[in-house]
Chain A
């Protein structure tokens, strides 16, 4: 009995370790756990990218299910997903842009001019498709930090009460939409 146990314990440990490591082989290290899922949208007041006099608050967004899409014209993947996002808008999905500005930071570029940025953004949206109901500008990236954004593009799915349901890192395409977003949205609508 004791001998059997002595023989089986290392085997059990070995099997446990094998399963653990085997699973690790197929895990994607780029899929990060997000800290914000299930929490409410952090409070913010951000200017509109196109009309800086207008302020958007988190409370303005309550009542609608929407996608909050973090993007920037400097980010090639963001531009690539504009086409698919525009398709989604045509299907009736509300998409709000959160503009990720890096040129404002002296460490990454010091030639920031809002009028130039506005021209650049409108040109790009005219060319690649405009999925956005409106865009908010987070110059200091404080809201981005509060949301746990590490880069662009990233997209949040927020429900009508302002709860964050999903946080997706990377672009949205038909595969990601079907696998990740569509089931959650289907559950929301009665």
Chain B
């Protein structure tokens, strides 16, 4: 009896949470676009929060605008373009390639290339050192003969 009460209250709370999902969409695709965009767009007022998380008034306005644009059938890129037009590149979490952000895009590639180059260079060096000449071969044979005879004597 006690447990059924707990169970029912749990069910009820989950139902309440579900009803907080206030936005209705015509298609599942629109719902996805809206969810993606509200997580990718950055709140211009409260930095480092996306507009889905933020309680700022501008975040709410942006959410509403994204909703309207999604319902109008606008694509994801179009909506991002619309926001950048008004709020600048800051509003999107993915930085575009510009002169000032070039270093962010190029550095990781440089690091990988450099590391890879260093590994290859080392390997080349190591393989060069392992070259086996005829003289090495004869020295080895001499040594083998010498120690074999030693073994026979003892």
Q: Do A and B belong to a common assembly?
A: yes
A residues with a Cβ closer than 8 A to B are 6, 9-10, 13, 16-17, 20, 29-30, 32-36, 102, 105, 107-108, 141, 144-151
B94 part of interface (Cβ distance < 8 Å): no
Beyond A32-B88, A150-B58, A151-B45, 13 additional contacts (C-beta under 8 Å) are A13-B111, A16-B103, A30-B47, A33-B90, A35-B87, A36-B85, A105-B60, A145-B58, A145-B65, A150-B43, A150-B44, A150-B56, A151-B58
A34 contacts across to B, CB distance below 8 A: 87-88
Give the distance to chain A from B117, nearest Cβ to Cβ, in Å: 8
A sample of 28 cross-chain residue pairs with beta-carbon separation below 8 angstroms, ordered by A number, consists of A6-B118, A6-B121, A9-B114, A13-B110, A13-B114, A16-B107, A17-B107, A20-B103, A32-B90, A35-B84, A35-B86, A35-B87, A35-B91, A108-B57, A141-B61, A145-B58, A145-B62, A145-B65, A145-B86, A147-B86, A148-B86, A148-B87, A149-B58, A150-B44, A150-B56, A150-B58, A150-B87, A151-B57
User: In the complex the two chains form, is A102's CB within 8 Å of B114's CB?
Assistant: no
B89 contacts across to A, CB distance below 8 A: 33
B43 contacts across to A, CB distance below 8 A: 150
The 10 closest A-B pairs by CB, nearest first: A150-B44, A33-B88, A148-B86, A35-B88, A150-B45, A148-B87, A150-B58, A35-B86, A35-B85, A20-B103
A30 contacts across to B, CB distance below 8 A: 47
A145 contacts across to B, CB distance below 8 A: 58, 61-62, 65, 86
Give the distance to chain B from A15, nearest Cβ to Cβ, in Å: 12
Closest A residue to B55 using CB positions: A107
Chain B residues numbered 39-91 whose CB sits less than 8 Å from any CB in chain A = 43-45, 47, 56-58, 60-62, 65, 84-91
B91 contacts across to A, CB distance below 8 A: 35
A105 contacts across to B, CB distance below 8 A: 57, 60
Cα(A149)–Cα(B56), bound, Å:
12
Closest B residue to A2 using CB positions: B121
A141 contacts across to B, CB distance below 8 A: 57, 61
Cα(A34)–Cα(B84), bound, Å:
9
CB within 8 A of A146: which of B57, B86, B103?
A: B86
B114 contacts across to A, CB distance below 8 A: 9-10, 13
Cα(A13)–Cα(B90), bound, Å:
26
Cα(A35)–Cα(B86), bound, Å:
5
A102 contacts across to B, CB distance below 8 A: 57
Give the distance to chain B from A97, nearest Cβ to Cβ, in Å: 18
